[in-house]
Amino acid sequence: MQTGPESPFEQLEPPPGGVERMRARFAEPSRARHGVGLAASGVAALAALVAVLAVLSTEMRSRTAADTMLAAPELDRLLGRKSQPIPLSVERDGQVVQTEELPSSDPRIRIYRVL
């Protein structure tokens, strides 16, 4: 072991035969591992593509559902649209009965009489 006067660390000698083994390792050609890396990057790219397609299809479905919900006539008043009168159907004892609309002083209120 050697120690330098200006170095706080001692310098160690390599193990017996260590230098020769290291030089032999550097002299051999490196093993090609491209097959594993190429397959791993292909799988990762495929997984990313599947994830993107899943997110896009979910977004399109939610957009369609949102448009359908916003087109519902029940939301006309909340969204400031003019509401369309919905035909009234009344059943009594499982039989459809006729109704008559009565006049109202408030145009937002509809009054019906069952005949």
Q: List the domain range (segments joined by +) for residue 63.
A: 16-114
Indicate whether 18 pLDDT > 80.
Answer: yes
User: In this structure, what is the dihedral angle of CA atoms 39, 43, 45, 46, given to the nearest 10 degrees?
Assistant: 130
- DSSP conformation class of 88: P
pTM of the predicted structure, to 2 decimals: 0.31
Q: b/e per residue, 22-34, with b = 16+ CB within 10 A?
A: eeeeeeeeeeeee
pLDDT of residue 45: 93
End-to-end CA distance of the chain: 114
* Domain contains 5: no
* Domain contains 9: no
Helix (H, G, I), strand (E, B) or coil at 99: strand
Distance in angstroms (rounded) separating the CA atoms of residues 49 and 32: 28
**pLDDT tens per residue across span 30-81:** 766 667 778 888 899 999 999 988 888 777 777 777 777 778 877 777 788 8
Number of structural domains, the chain?
1
Indicate whether 96 pLDDT > 80.
Answer: yes
* Domain contains 4: no
